[in-house]
Structure formats: structure tokens, C-alpha cells
């Protein structure tokens, strides 16, 4: 089963948490990107569902992590000659980029909800889907190999699907993988 393939090791660090420096949530999200890179040699399509309760009660949007800063950090961590101050600066940049993206999405400025609205409007109107939704790059970008939620001390989340399985199997060309 999928759950049998998940291994989790937890520890508590007294100097880590709210008020101890960077946002623990953003730090964990960046760490997940670095861990995936180290395990697979590349980043992957990732989403973190966020509630839009401040601007659209009852609605959600998807946060995508900031790829370039996470990639720069992951690559630098693999460099044995990387200086600690450079690594710390890259970590801070990645965490700050994650926080900025989070605020954009929470304020209703995320792209995923808008794209889904465009797709749904075309389907409901009986119109052909806009080209972006038929592009293989879009299907790849929406095939989320990591789907994370807020990580709290009480619980975390495992994978939704085995690697390589789209969240929603394609039904027809109007509904490509990952949608």
C-alpha cells in the first residue's frame, strides 16, 4: 500500500518554532523541495492548498513553491565548497520567496484558481479549451508529485498518489492529466 512506502522520522528542537527565526511552515516547505531534489535530482510540480477565507470564504487556491530559489539552495547544499554564510543567505532567500508567494495566494492573487475558472468557463460554454490546457507542459506542470498541507506538530501528510500516477486519470482530450 502507499502508506507502507512512507517513512517518517520526527524530532523536536528547542530552538525551532514560532518566534525563533524564519517561519517554520515556510522552512518546512523549502526543506521538502530540497529533500525531493536530493532524492530525485530535480524539483517537481508541487502544490500546497491554502484557504482563501480572508478574501473568498469557503474557497481554496494552490500555492506553488518558488522553484529557482529552492533549486539554488539544493544545488549549493550539494557543493562541498559552499560557504556556510552563502548557504544561509540562499536559505533565507528561499524562505522569503515562499512567504511572499504565500501572501500572494492568501490575498487572492494566485494563478491556479484563475486558470481553473478559465478552464471551467470554456467547458460550461461548450467551447474548445484554450490551448494552454492542451499543452503537454501544462499537463506536466499540474501533475503534482508533492502535495503538501500545513505541517503541524500533531500531523503531516503523505503522498496522494504513487509517483507517475496523475491525480485524475484523463477521461478525454478536453480533460488532460492533472486537471
Per-residue pLDDT of 111-141, as tens digits, reads 999 999 999 999 999 999 999 999 999 999 9
In this prediction, residue 171 carries a pLDDT of: 45
Residue 64's pLDDT band, with cuts at 50, 70 and 90, is very high
pLDDT at residue 24 greater than cutoff 50:
yes
Rounded Cα distance between 71 and 84, Å, is 17
From its phi and psi, is residue 41 left (phi > 0), alpha (psi between -120 and 50) or beta? Answer: left
Q: What strands, in cross-sheet order, belong to the sheet with 60-63?
A: 60-63, 46-51, 146-147
pTM: 0.75
In this prediction, residue 12 carries a pLDDT of: 72
Cell of 22: 524564519
**Is the separation of the CB atoms in 101 and 65 below 8 Å?**
yes
pLDDT at residue 13 greater than cutoff 80:
no
Residue 148's pLDDT band, with cuts at 50, 70 and 90, is confident
Domain ranges within the chain, ordered by starting residue = 22-147
Rounded Cα distance between 103 and 119, Å, is 24
Higher pLDDT residue, 152 or 53? 53
Label residue 94 exposed, middle or buried (CB < 10 Å: 0-12, 13-18, 19+): buried
Q: Which CATH architecture has domain 22-147?
A: 2-Layer Sandwich (3.30)
Amino acid at each position: 500500500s502507499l502508506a507502507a512506502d512512507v517513512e517518517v522520522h520526527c524530532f523536536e528542537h528547542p530552538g525551532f518554532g514560532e518566534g525563533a527565526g524564519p517561519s517554520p511552515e515556510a522552512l518546512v516547505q523549502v526543506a521538502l523541495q530540497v529533500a525531493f531534489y536530493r532524492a530525485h535530482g530535480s524539483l517537481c510540480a508541487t502544490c500546497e492548498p491554502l484557504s482563501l477565507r480572508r478574501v473568498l470564504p469557503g474557497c481554496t487556491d494552490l500555492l506553488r513553491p518558488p522553484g529557482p530559489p529552492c533549486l539554488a539552495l539544493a544545488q549549493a547544499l550539494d557543493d562541498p565548497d559552499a560557504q556556510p554564510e552563502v548557504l544561509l543567505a540562499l536559505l533565507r532567500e528561499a524562505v522569503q520567496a515562499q512567504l511572499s508567494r504565500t501572501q500572494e495566494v492568501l490575498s487572492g492573487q494566485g494563478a491556479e484558481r484563475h486558470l481553473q475558472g478559465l478552464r471551467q468557463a470554456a467547458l460550461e460554454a461548450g467551447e474548445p479549451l484554450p490551448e494552454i490546457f492542451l499543452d503537454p507542459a501544462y499537463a506536466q506542470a499540474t501533475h503534482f508529485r508533492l502535495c503538501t498541507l500545513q505541517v503541524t506538530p500533531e500531523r503531516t501528510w503523505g503522498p496522494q498518489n504513487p509517483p507517475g500516477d496523475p491525480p485524475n486519470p484523463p477521461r478525454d482530450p478536453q480533460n488532460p492529466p492533472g486537471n
